[in-house]
Chains A and B, each alone.
Chain A
Amino acid sequence: MTALFEYLLRLGDSDLILSHRLSQWVGHAPAIEEELALGNIALDLLGQAQLWLSLAAQTANDGRDADQLVYLRDAGEYRNVLLVEQLNGDFAHTMTRQFFFDSFHHLLLGALTQSSNGSVAAIAAKSLKEVSYHLRRSRDWVITLGDGSEESHRRMTTAVDNLWSYTGELFQMDGIDQALISTGVAVDLAGLRQAWLRDITTTFADAVLTTPQNDWAQRGGKRGVHTEHLGFLLAEMQFLQRAYPNATW
């Protein structure tokens, strides 16, 4: 498989898996407005995943379309970062995960609008507009909950502790990134880390939360080595196509 195909899977899969996680809140959110918000953000991310995975399918040109990439790959073939497959937990956990990802996503898409690949740049520019308000919202929630009640602050601290070790992978690169950076298609992820840390630290200062100093990172998602949670998520998401192959409506 080409480096570009792998790179597009990484972009699309992270959007897709986070979208699915957020959609699991529907019917369980703490308030109707939050229910709508989580569902809407899930929908944006699903749309973005569809754009990336359609481009991936077109790049591979092996007869598979975006739907087949989504429904017929097993966990080992998924390339999303580990952060997005983590369980929803409580609302503080979901919002912390979202803020870590949104802040990174915003920087990534901003840089990808300059990609030498026109299709990549177009999808990035389209998605960036949506991610701007995702970030506004998750940042607001981090501040509201961190600087909220004793209980909400405690829950936020637990969420940060649980999720921090999954953030390092966002900026991790390998030969696929290097090959595509040399042709101007991809982004130097390590170069985004300082800006991301600044965003986190500034927001955490407003939220009365402590930015962890530990930079040990869980990794593996980008090459298909996932935490146990992804398999369960896929089992639910892919059930219909697995049980009734080629079903359409």
Chain B
Amino acid sequence: MQPSLNQVWAWLGEVPDPEIPVISVVDLGIVREVRWEGNELVIGVTPTYSGCPATSVIAHEIKSALQSHGVQAFRLETQLSPPWTTNWISDAGKERLRAFGIAPPTARGAKIYCPRCASAAVAKVSEFGSTPCKAQYRCLDCLEPFDLFKCL
């Protein structure tokens, strides 16, 4: 029997991002579509940054999740258009990022708050951080460094 699409979305909602495991690939907005084509399940995924090394790991984890739930016939389809944007990160996902110590993306020019002490007194250290999607900041109040998920 074919599992429902809602069921498939729920399964994928439990697949963590390999770099930031507190957030799922669904919360991150990289699973764009789930559909049945006859007996084959098609998962449309979009890369975050085009050079993100996690992309192939994510594909692998999605495949493992589907297999562990007994789905035999499926394929992953890369969808480049429209390009991924941080606006697709769910509100729950943004909250989990903050709790994890990563300031969630904000619109360009909007205020950035320290994920630890919520102070708005922060300074940019570098536009680039430990992964393509993050920038380095530091808090001028609690003095802790933190990552900002860049707005794309």
Q: Is B105 an interface residue (CB 8 A)?
A: no
Q: Bound complex: CA of A119 vs CA of B80, how far in Å?
A: 8
- Which residues of chain B are within 8 angstroms of A48 by Cβ–Cβ distance? 50-51
Q: Which of B34-69 contact A (CB under 8 A)?
A: 47, 49-53
- Which residues of chain B are within 8 angstroms of A119 by Cβ–Cβ distance? 80
A128's closest neighbor in chain B, by CB? B83
Q: Bound complex: CA of A169 vs CA of B133, how far in Å?
A: 32
A123 x B132 contact (CB < 8 A): no
B126 x A33 contact (CB < 8 A): yes
- Which residues of chain A are within 8 angstroms of B53 by Cβ–Cβ distance? 43
Counting residue pairs across A and B whose Cβ atoms lie within 8 Å, the total is 67
B51 x A125 contact (CB < 8 A): no
Q: Bound complex: CA of A119 vs CA of B81, how far in Å?
A: 9
- Which residues of chain B are within 8 angstroms of A43 by Cβ–Cβ distance? 49, 51-53, 132
Instruction: Give A7-44 as 1s and 0s: 1 = Cβ < 8 Å from B's Cβ atoms.
Output: 00000000000000000000000000110110111011
In the complex, how many residues of chain A place their beta carbon closer than 8 angstroms to a beta carbon of chain B?
28
Contact A51-B81, Cβ < 8 Å, known A36-B128, A40-B128, A129-B152: no
B50 x A127 contact (CB < 8 A): yes
Q: Is B4 an interface residue (CB 8 A)?
A: no
Q: Is B5 an interface residue (CB 8 A)?
A: no
- Which residues of chain A are within 8 angstroms of B13 by Cβ–Cβ distance? none
Candidate in B81, B126, B128, B150 with the most chain A CB atoms within 10 angstroms: B128
- Which residues of chain A are within 8 angstroms of B150 by Cβ–Cβ distance? 133
- Which residues of chain B are within 8 angstroms of A33 by Cβ–Cβ distance? 125-126, 128, 136
Q: Is A155 an interface residue (CB 8 A)?
A: no
Q: Is A53 an interface residue (CB 8 A)?
A: no
Q: Bound complex: CA of A118 vs CA of B81, how far in Å?
A: 9
A37 x B50 contact (CB < 8 A): no
- Looking at the assembled complex, report how far the CB atom of B147 sits from the nearest CB atom of chain A, in whole angstroms: 11
B125 x A51 contact (CB < 8 A): no
A130 x B49 contact (CB < 8 A): yes
Q: Is B141 an interface residue (CB 8 A)?
A: no
A37 x B126 contact (CB < 8 A): yes
Q: Is A56 an interface residue (CB 8 A)?
A: no
Q: Is A170 an interface residue (CB 8 A)?
A: no
A45's closest neighbor in chain B, by CB? B51
- Looking at the assembled complex, report how far the CB atom of B149 sits from the nearest CB atom of chain A, in whole angstroms: 14
Q: Bound complex: CA of A133 vs CA of B125, how far in Å?
A: 15
- Which residues of chain B are within 8 angstroms of A233 by Cβ–Cβ distance? none
B51 x A37 contact (CB < 8 A): no
Q: Is A152 an interface residue (CB 8 A)?
A: no
- Which residues of chain A are within 8 angstroms of B128 by Cβ–Cβ distance? 33, 36-37, 39-41
Show the binding face of B for A, using Cβ within 8 Å: 47, 49-53, 80-85, 125-130, 132, 136, 150, 152
**For the complex of A and B, 5 pairs with smallest distance between CB atoms:** A47-B51, A47-B50, A33-B126, A122-B81, A43-B51
Show the binding face of A for B, using Cβ within 8 Å: 33-34, 36-37, 39-41, 43-48, 50-51, 118-119, 121-123, 125-127, 129-130, 133, 136-137
Given A36-B130, A126-B47, 9 extra CB contacts under 8 A? A41-B128, A44-B50, A45-B51, A47-B49, A50-B50, A118-B81, A122-B80, A122-B81, A126-B80
